[in-house]
């Protein structure tokens, strides 16, 4: 991906692995720390970002623990302050938080359709609509996007939140993105976006980057 000096860059990274990821449980807003593998993934991400031709100059993070811990590893490596923002949180899964993904896929047909085909259909009981998740991520982007040439902003967030934001920025609906297997982030993987610094218009985006990780994560939960 080209990151010319005339443009700005936004890096969108997912947090490292947690015990819920490993067990296939829905996390949503749950407070779950990184497990040992997740800490190592976060450190690999930090080292990789430090070695980029243009490392991050600003660092934002969801205020949920797993994202904050991941951002903390990057902050320590790059000597950057972390700006915590609740708008970067994962979609709220309400009554489904903590439940096994496999069980929900077996027992809830509406959830199964949304999870396997089109995330925009997600509206867990007592939780948040996918459209509302996308709207708050869009608001964060409008406030925090890089506005200077050569500026590189990194945001650490969550799987569905990143999917929602990338759909917003690319104009793709979630169903189409799923069919094309786009915007799926393994733990501690990231996407790089080239933006026009004046308008915030998306010029280019990379495939999800995970080559810096020693073992690719397989979890699809948040």
Residue 222's pLDDT is: 65
Q: Name the more confident of 213 and 13.
A: 13
Tokens of 4: 């010319």
Residue 206 reports pLDDT greater than 60: yes
Q: Where are the domains of the chain?
A: 8-92+133-205
* Residue range 3-10: mean pLDDT, rounded: 81
pLDDT 10s digits, 14-71: 999 999 999 999 999 999 999 999 999 999 999 999 999 999 999 999 999 999 999 9
Per-residue pLDDT band at 3 (split at 50, 70, 90):
very low
Binding-site residue positions for substrate: 14-21, 66
Could you give the residue ranges of the DSSP H alpha helices within 51-120?
65-78, 101-107, 109-117
Binding-site residue positions: 14-21, 66
Half-sphere exposure of 53 (CA within 13 A, CB side): 8
pLDDT 10s digits, 62-117: 999 999 999 999 999 999 999 999 999 999 999 999 999 999 999 999 999 999 99
Please state the pTM of the whole predicted model.
0.94
Residue 221's pLDDT is: 57
In this prediction, what percent of the chain has a pLDDT beyond 90?
89
> Is 6 one of the annotated active-site residues of the chain?
no
Which CATH code of 3.90.1200.10, 3.40.50.12280, 3.40.50.1240, 3.10.450.50 fits the domain covering 8-92+133-205? 3.40.50.1240
Q: How many CB atoms lie within 10 A of CB 5?
A: 7
CB 28 within 8 A of CB 95: no
| Choice among 41, 73, 90, 97 that is catalytic | 90
CB 159 within 8 A of CB 183: no
> Is 15 one of the annotated active-site residues of the chain?
yes
């Amino acid at each position: 991906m080209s990151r010319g000096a005339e443009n700005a860059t936004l890096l969108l990274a997912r947090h490292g692995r947690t015990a819920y990821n490993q067990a296939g449980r829905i996390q949503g807003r749950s407070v779950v720390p990184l497990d040992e593998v997740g800490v190592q993934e976060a450190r690999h991400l930090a080292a990789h970002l430090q070695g980029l031709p243009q490392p991050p100059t600003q660092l934002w993070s969801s205020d949920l623990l797993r994202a904050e811990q991941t951002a903390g590893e990057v902050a320590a490596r790059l000597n950057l302050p972390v700006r915590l923002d609740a708008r970067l949180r994962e979609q709220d899964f309400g009554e489904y938080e903590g439940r096994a993904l496999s069980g929900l896929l077996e027992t809830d047909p509406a959830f199964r359709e949304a999870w396997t085909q089109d995330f925009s259909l997600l509206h867990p009981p007592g939780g948040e609509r996918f459209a509302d998740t996308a709207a708050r991520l869009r608001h964060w982007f409008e406030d925090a996007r890089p506005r200077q040439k050569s500026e590189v902003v990194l945001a650490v967030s969550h799987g569905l939140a990143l999917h929602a934001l990338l759909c917003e920025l690319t104009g793709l609906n979630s169903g189409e993105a799923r069919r094309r297997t786009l915007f799926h982030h393994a733990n501690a993987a990231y996407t790089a976006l080239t933006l026009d610094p004046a308008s915030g218009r998306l010029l280019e985006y990379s495939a999800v980057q995970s080559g810096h990780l020693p073992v690719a994560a397989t979890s699809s939960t948040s």
